[in-house]
Structure formats: structure tokens, C-alpha cells
Amino acid sequence: MAPQDAANARGQFSSRFGFITAATGSAVGLGNIWGFPTQTASHGGGAFVLVYLILAFLLAYPALMAELIIGRHTRHNMVAALPQLCNRPTLQVFGRATGLYGVLTACLILGFYAIVAGWLMAQIPAAIADISGQAVAKQWFSQSSLARDGLFCALFSALTAAIVARGVKDGIERWSTRLMPALIVLMLGLAATVLTLPGAMEGLRLYLIPDFTLITNPGLLGSAMGQAFFSLSLGVGTMLIYGSYVSNSDNLPLTGAYVALVDTGIAFLAGLLIIPAMFVAQQRGIRIYKADDTLIAGPDLILQTLPDLFNSLGVVGSIIGLVFFVLLTIAALTSSISMLEVPVSFALEQFKLSRRRATCWVAATIFTFSLLILFNFDALFGAVVKISTQYSQPLLGVLLCLFAGWALHRNQLLREISAGFPAAEQSLFWKIWPGYIRFVCPLLIIAMFVQNLSG
């Protein structure tokens, strides 16, 4: 079968726009709207923003290109793709093991991501109950409990599975192209509203003006790198499998650049919304600093400080809150479908199951894992987040760069890139990227990883 036919048999995005919305849908998620602003808040504002922007283009974009190119070249999921790049049996075994590690990491991430998405989704009926004056219902939906968290995690997981079961074009692409424009419009509207409220300008200053003395703070570099990898969905084979559904006529370096730009732009926009919102909250008497004088971050910021702010603004605030949590749920959904696609595509190709069957089994297994985390929350939640995002994603990122740079021959790389970009050989991308991905990018990631561990 010709590669193009093979791609059609396994599903393909119908257009370049379809791929860009699906890949940006994967990239833009809780990492942008929750992770980026809260990391910015806990690392002193503008200094973090600056380092993040530099790392996104220095490390994350080249690694994204490695995944897209491997995916389109092999037209397989990560477990089958990596051995295909190697001709020595030991390397093939290593490639397969790396692929399985990626699939496992995607499952771990989805395991905790669905819990967090469930918390956020529960705030939607909480806001509706508030607007309609149902105090008891509002209390139940807005307070964490095993019943509420389990129920909303199940709902979110079922929604994710329902989209993935419909396939690449009718599920992933169709829903990403519906949801992403809605997300951007909601976010612009919210940011514009918040910026008009008293106190917002103080937050804007903290966000936009870097304090360069903070750049050397321990942990800042490592956090910014982890955030960039998480935000661009790297390391776990998501971008690789999406790359495998891209048509040969697409210009990959350009398409990848769009994805990185939109992802970074939306993270930046989320900061414009959330950091000023914190200072609006402060003006209204809500505490935004912790005892050690750093800004409140993480779940407390999203699930306590911001809802307090919405409550203090009356009915208009409840409506803003409703829109905000719809926005977060949409962002989480377009990302979770891309995570679920990783093990589903593996199960499809490996065990020759139908897509529906593969999706049901995989989604049920991951949901069971989410329940396990919920029942042992203190012991498992933080550990799973740390192992999957802080350790595994950067390590897998290094391995994928090495596979793209060393296992793929230069001629194969050039042929793959030139397929949708005939002038590739004369381009700046071709002059820099192949060498960069072999040496510089892996070394930089490892150096930062080690610095982060020792910090």
C-alpha cells in the first residue's frame, strides 16, 4: 500500500486547518490557562514569562518538529514508529521500550488531568445553581467530595471517549474546530472585561515587567522548561500520532510554528486574564498572598481566589465565573482527546481492535486509574503529576530528539520536510534544525533537567 493510502486507511486530518486546530487544541489546555498563570504567579511574574517564551522556541519548538516529522515519516503510533527508524535489533527493542514509556506517560497524565478537569467542570453547575438561587446545590457542586469528584471525572472521561471513538476526522478534528474558536472568543472577552476592573493595572505591571533579579531563582528554569513541554504536549507521542495523520503536502516547519505560536499566545493571554484578576480580587478584600509573601497559586488560586472574586461581583460575577469554567472545560477536553488518542491508536494498530472497542477499554482502564488516585489522593496525586510531567516528559523529549536526529538519515529527513516544503534545502530551518536536534537541544534539556533535580 502506498503511504498515502495507508494514511487514509488509518484516518487523516482533512485539511491543514483541521490539523492546526487539532494540534493547537491538544497544546492549549489546563497547562496554558491554569498552569502558566499560576507558575507565573509563583515565580515572580514577568521574569518567568520571559524565560518561558525563550525556552518555548529554543527547546519546545525543535522537539515538537522531531515528533511531527517522525510521525509523518512512519505513519505509525509511537511504539511502532520508533523501532521502524532503527535497523539494529537492540535499538529496535530500545525504540519499542521508549514508545511504551511514552504511551504509559500519556495514560498517567490523563489519569490526573481528568480529575482536575472534573473539578473545573463541576464549577459550571455550581455557577448555574448560584445564578438561579439554589444555595444547597451550589454548595454541593462547589465543594470537593469523593462523590462529586468521582462523578465529574467520570463525565469528563466519558465525553473524551465519545469524541475519540468517532475517529480522527469526525471526532478529533470536528470537535477541535468547533471548540477552539469558541475558546479564543471566550478568553478574549473575559480578558477585556477583567482589564477594565479596578486593580487590574497593578496585576498587569507585575505580569509584564520582568524583575531580572528573579531569573536566577532556583527552580525557575526547570519549571519553565517543564511548563513548555507540558504545554506543547511533548514527549508522550501525542504530536507524533497527530503528525502521522497529516497529509504529505503540508509544510511541517511552518505548521509546527503556527502550533507553537498559538499555544504560547494563548498562555500569554491567560496570564493577561488571571494575574490582573488576582489584583482585582485584592482590591475587593480577597487575600492573594500566602503567609510567605508569595502569590497564591495552584488549585487555591483557581478554585478559591477566583471564585471568591466572582462571588464578590454579584450576578455579573457569577456569569463571568460560568464562562470562565466553560472555557477551562473546553480547553481540557481538546487536550484530553489527544492524550487518549495515544493509547487508543496503539491498541488499534497493535491488537487490531475496532476504534470503538479500543476506546472503551482504554478509557475505562484510565478512569479506573483516576479513581485509584482519587481514593488515595494525598499519596498519589502529587507523585503522579511529578513523575509524568517533571521527569518523564523532558526525558522522553530528549529521546525523541535523538531518534529524529540520529536514527533518521539526513536524506530521509530532507525528503520528509521537502514533501510539503519544496524549498526546504535552502531554508534556515534546514540549516539549523538537524544539527540542533542532534546535539544542542538534548544537551540543553538534560542540563536543565539535572539542574532542576539538584535544585
Smallest distance from the beta carbon of 169 to ligand PFF, in angstroms?
Answer: 19
Cβ proximity to ligand PFF, 105 vs 282, nearer residue: 105
Question: Using the rule CB under 6 A, is 29 a contact of ligand PFF?
Answer: yes
Separation CA 98–CA 190 (nearest Å): 41
Question: Using the rule CB under 6 A, is 238 a contact of ligand PFF?
Answer: yes
The stretch among 24-32, 93-101, 253-261, 275-283 that binds ligand PFF (CB under 6 A) is: 24-32
User: Of the candidates 11, 8, 64, 5, which has an alpha carbon nearest to the alpha carbon of residue 263?
Assistant: 64
Q: Look at the block and give the residue holding cell 505548521.
A: 255
Question: Using the rule CB under 6 A, is 32 a contact of ligand PFF?
Answer: yes
User: Of the candidates 10, 1, 7, 4, which has an alpha carbon nearest to the alpha carbon of residue 350?
Assistant: 10
Q: Look at the block and give the residue holding cell 494514511.
A: 7
Separation CA 87–CA 379 (nearest Å): 42
> Rounded to the nearest 5°, which phi and psi values hold at 286?
-95, 135
Question: Using the rule CB under 6 A, is 231 a contact of ligand PFF?
Answer: yes
Q: Which three cell numbers stand for residue 64?
A: 515538537
Question: Using the rule CB under 6 A, is 392 a contact of ligand PFF?
Answer: no
- Residues 425/414, Cβ–Cβ less than 8 Å: yes
Cβ proximity to ligand PFF, 176 vs 318, nearer residue: 176
Cβ proximity to ligand PFF, 18 vs 29, nearer residue: 29
Q: Which three cell numbers stand for residue 214?
A: 528573579
Smallest distance from the beta carbon of 8 to ligand PFF, in angstroms?
Answer: 24
Taking the CA atoms of 10, 165, 257 and 63 in sequence, report the sign of the dihedral they define.
negative
Cβ proximity to ligand PFF, 260 vs 286, nearer residue: 260
C-beta atoms surrounding 205 within 10 Å:
14
The stretch among 26-34, 202-210, 299-307, 350-358 that binds ligand PFF (CB under 6 A) is: 26-34
Burial of 210 (0-12, 13-18, 19+ CB in 10 A): middle
Q: From the list 106, 269, 323, 401, which residue makes contact with ligand PFF (rule: CB under 6 A)?
A: 106
Smallest distance from the beta carbon of 74 to ligand PFF, in angstroms?
Answer: 18
Residue 420, classed as helix, strand or coil, is: coil
Q: x/- binding map, residues 321-340, to ligand PFF, per CB under 6 A?
A: --------------x--xx-
Smallest distance from the beta carbon of 336 to ligand PFF, in angstroms?
Answer: 7
Subset of 334-373 contacting ligand PFF (CB under 6 A): 335, 338-339
- In angstroms and rounded to an integer, the radius of gyration of the C-alpha atoms of the chain is 22
Residues whose CB falls within 8 Å of the CB of residue 69, separated by 6 or more in sequence, listed in order: 243, 252, 404, 408, 413, 416, 417
Smallest distance from the beta carbon of 232 to ligand PFF, in angstroms?
Answer: 6
45, amino acid identity: G
Smallest distance from the beta carbon of 253 to ligand PFF, in angstroms?
Answer: 20
Question: Using the rule CB under 6 A, is 31 a contact of ligand PFF?
Answer: yes
Cβ proximity to ligand PFF, 164 vs 339, nearer residue: 339
Separation CA 236–CA 257 (nearest Å): 19
The stretch among 30-38, 42-50, 157-165, 443-451 that binds ligand PFF (CB under 6 A) is: 30-38
Question: Using the rule CB under 6 A, is 124 a contact of ligand PFF?
Answer: no
Smallest distance from the beta carbon of 338 to ligand PFF, in angstroms?
Answer: 5
Number of shown-chain residues binding ligand PFF (CB under 6 A) = 16
Question: Using the rule CB under 6 A, is 121 a contact of ligand PFF?
Answer: no
Q: Which residues pair with 295 in a beta bridge?
A: 289
Question: Using the rule CB under 6 A, is 233 a contact of ligand PFF?
Answer: yes
- Residues 436/128, Cβ–Cβ less than 8 Å: no
The stretch among 62-70, 114-122, 161-169, 231-239 that binds ligand PFF (CB under 6 A) is: 231-239
Question: Using the rule CB under 6 A, is 125 a contact of ligand PFF?
Answer: no
Checking 127-132 for CB contacts under 8 A at 24+ apart, the result is 127/310, 127/318, 127/319, 127/321, 127/322, 127/325, 128/322, 130/311, 130/318, 130/321, 131/315, 131/318, 131/319, 131/322
Question: Using the rule CB under 6 A, is 27 a contact of ligand PFF?
Answer: yes
Q: Which three cell numbers stand for residue 287?
A: 487575600
Question: Using the rule CB under 6 A, is 230 a contact of ligand PFF?
Answer: yes
Smallest distance from the beta carbon of 339 to ligand PFF, in angstroms?
Answer: 5
Taking the CA atoms of 360, 364, 370 and 374 in sequence, report the sign of the dihedral they define.
positive
> Rounded to the nearest 5°, which phi and psi values hold at 193?
-65, -45
Question: Using the rule CB under 6 A, is 395 a contact of ligand PFF?
Answer: no
Q: From the list 26, 98, 282, 345, which residue makes contact with ligand PFF (rule: CB under 6 A)?
A: 26
Residues that bind ligand PFF (CB under 6 A): 26-27, 29-32, 106, 109, 230-231, 233, 236, 238, 335, 338-339
